[in-house]
């Protein structure tokens, strides 16, 4: 491996370790020492790539957004435009907005409420991801009225995010499925 490849690999390992630490320990428990240990790198290697925890978290924000974007792309790759397009799209979005990348993002969202520097870095990454998700929604929802489309999209995002935030407190996912089924029934009536 060339030095450049080694640097890129170490950079990637540190960002992946940061994401895992955010999920396992939360924002407050994610320390540079834990990240260093999780990544299996020296203190010098960590500091060579990131001079501070904030710098590392800012880079992690963009890394996590990229991972989530790839998840969305993977989930929607096979979506068609047949009669089940809306249901298939909602299922794909629900799957893409679960798991470690989304959980790490939630930790960063919460921390950004009181950390202006983190919030400033988080907003562009989340907007980019949000635009991608909105584009997918618009392509597969079948709703032409702009006001109806915005309301349907925003309510779906609130539902999906809320269900994922409360997943660990709700052992029975059937209620979430019923709520989504109700959303689908109401939204289907808006379709052209």
CATH code for the domain of 51: 1.10.357.10
To the nearest whole number, what is the mean pLDDT of the chain?
Answer: 90
User: How far, in Å, CA of 137 to CA of 89, rounded?
Assistant: 7
pLDDT at 182: 96
Q: How many CB atoms lie within 10 A of CB 108?
A: 26
The domain of 91 spans 3-188
Percent residues over pLDDT 70 in the chain = 100
Q: Against a cut of 0.85, is the pTM above it? A: no
pLDDT digits (tens, 9 = 90+) for 65-112: 999 888 888 877 777 777 788 898 898 888 888 889 989 999 999 999
Q: Closest Cα to residue 123, out of 135, 108, 138?
A: 108
- Those residues whose C-beta lies under 8 Å from the C-beta of residue 89, and which sit 6 or more positions away, are 76, 79, 136, 137, 140, 141
How high is the pLDDT of residue 93? 87
What pLDDT score was predicted for residue 119?
A: 92
Q: What is the pLDDT of residue 17?
A: 97
Kindly report, residue by residue over 20-39, the tens digit of the pLDDT.
999 999 999 999 999 999 99
Return the sign of the alpha-carbon dihedral for residues 46, 48, 50, 52: positive
- Token duo for residue 49: 């790539």
Total domains in the fold of the chain: 1
């Amino acid at each position: 491996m060339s030095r450049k490849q080694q640097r890129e690999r170490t950079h990637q390992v540190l960002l992946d370790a940061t994401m895992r630490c955010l999920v396992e320990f939360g924002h407050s428990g994610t320390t540079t020492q834990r990240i260093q240990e999780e990544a299996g790198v020296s203190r010098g290697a960590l500091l060579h790539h990131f001079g501070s925890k904030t710098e590392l978290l800012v880079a992690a924000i963009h890394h996590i957004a990229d991972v989530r974007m790839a998840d969305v792309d993977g989930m929607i790759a096979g979506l068609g435009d047949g009669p089940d397009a809306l249901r298939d799209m909602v299922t794909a979005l629900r799957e893409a907005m679960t798991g470690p990348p989304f959980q790490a993002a939630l930790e960063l969202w919460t921390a950004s409420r009181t950390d202006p520097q983190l919030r400033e870095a988080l907003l562009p990454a989340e907007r980019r991801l949000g635009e991608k998700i909105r584009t997918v929604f618009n392509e597969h929802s079948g709703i032409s009225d702009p006001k109806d489309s915005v309301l349907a999209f925003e309510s779906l995002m609130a539902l999906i995010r809320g269900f994922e935030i409360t997943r660990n407190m709700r052992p029975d996912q059937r209620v979430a499925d019923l709520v989504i089924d109700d959303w689908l029934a109401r939204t289907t009536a808006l379709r052209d």
